[in-house]
Amino acid sequence: MTTPPRLSIVIPARNEEFELGATLDSVHTAAEALGQPWECIVVNDGSTDRTADIAREQGAKVLDVELHNIGAVRNAGARAALGDRIVFLDADTRLPPETLQAAWGAMEQGAVGGGAWVRMEGLSWYQRLLVYSFTVFWLRLCGWAAGCFIFCTKDAFNAVDGFDETYFASEERFLSQALKQRGRFVILREVVVSSSRKARLYSTSQLLGLGFRTLIGGRKTLLQREGLEIFYDAPREST
């Protein structure tokens, strides 16, 4: 008999063949360094490329869905998770060992969940300034986890009914707020390294416009996929 996993790493993925392999490499290295029984679940949301094949080749469990709602995709992965601690990681985000260890340690010390700082590479100086300003607002001032990396105990996740599937974006914000009602929610000083592909594929003005619209427009702008295509049907890099 094998030891049941204590940690489940859930990765939502849609047409992520270019990014997923490096992310799974980082997951394997970080999880092995942690030294706890673990599993990785790639929730394949209707991919038409080699996403599912790459996940299987690198030892991940693959859960095939057709949901096209990021909160629902993550919830599907959580329902399949066997561990009592869950990490939600984006398919284009690398997980350093020290960050996973810090997340595990925070939960060992009673935190119900949290997030980490995010670093993006390959940005111009003004893009770095904009990203830094946004992360200070989102992570430090508001205390919300970034969507690319969220960790929590399974008990706390189930107690708040997981991600709110009525939203098509900012679902991590509402999960963060709900988890804070259950106990201590922490933003780690450690970082994850996320792709800056949106900054390469879209202009700064497009990204700023979307950011202001979702923040200032209120929750009603998050209740429909229209206008939020950048989070769902954005072009993918292949080189």
In the chain, DSSP finds a helix count (H) and a strand count (E) of 9, 8
Taking 80 as the threshold, does the pLDDT of residue 184 lie above it?
A: yes
The whole-number average pLDDT for the span 81-89 is 98
For residues 15 and 236, is the Cβ–Cβ distance under 8 A?
A: yes
What is the distance between the alpha carbons of residues 24 and 17, in angstroms, rounded to a whole number? 11
| Whole-structure pTM value | 0.90
Beta bridge partners of 117: 191
User: Between 103 and 221, where is the model more confident?
Assistant: 103
Sign of CA dihedral 138, 139, 143, 147: positive
pLDDT average, residue stretch 108-126? 90
Q: Is-contact 27 59, C-beta < 8 A?
A: no
Half-sphere exposure at residue 228, Cβ-oriented, CA atoms within 13 angstroms: 21
Q: Residue 170: what pLDDT?
A: 86
Predicted confidence band at 128 (pLDDT cuts at 50, 70, 90)? confident
Question: What structural domains does the chain harbor?
Answer: 7-231 (3.90.550.10)
For residue 213, the model assigns a pLDDT of 64
Helix axes 97-108, 20-34, angle to 10 degrees: 50
Rounded to 10°, the helix 171-180/70-80 angle is 50
pLDDT given for residue 216 in this prediction: 62
Report pLDDT for 129.
82
Q: What is the pLDDT of residues 186-226, one digit of tens each?
A: 999 999 999 877 766 666 666 666 666 666 666 777 777 77
pLDDT of residue 1: 44
**117-135: average pLDDT:** 82
Are 72 and 165 a contacting pair, CB within 8 Å? yes
State residue 58's pLDDT score. 97
Mean pLDDT of all residues in the chain?
90
> Mind listing the pLDDT tens digit for each residue in 14-69?
999 999 999 999 999 999 999 999 999 999 999 999 999 999 999 999 999 999 99
pLDDT at 206: 65
Question: CA-CA distances (angstroms) from residue 43 to 4, 151, 196?
Answer: 20, 17, 22
| DSSP state letters, 102-156 | HHHHHHHTT--EEEEEEEE-S--HHHHHHHHHHHIIIIIIS-PPPTTEEEEEHHH
The pLDDT of residue 26 is: 98
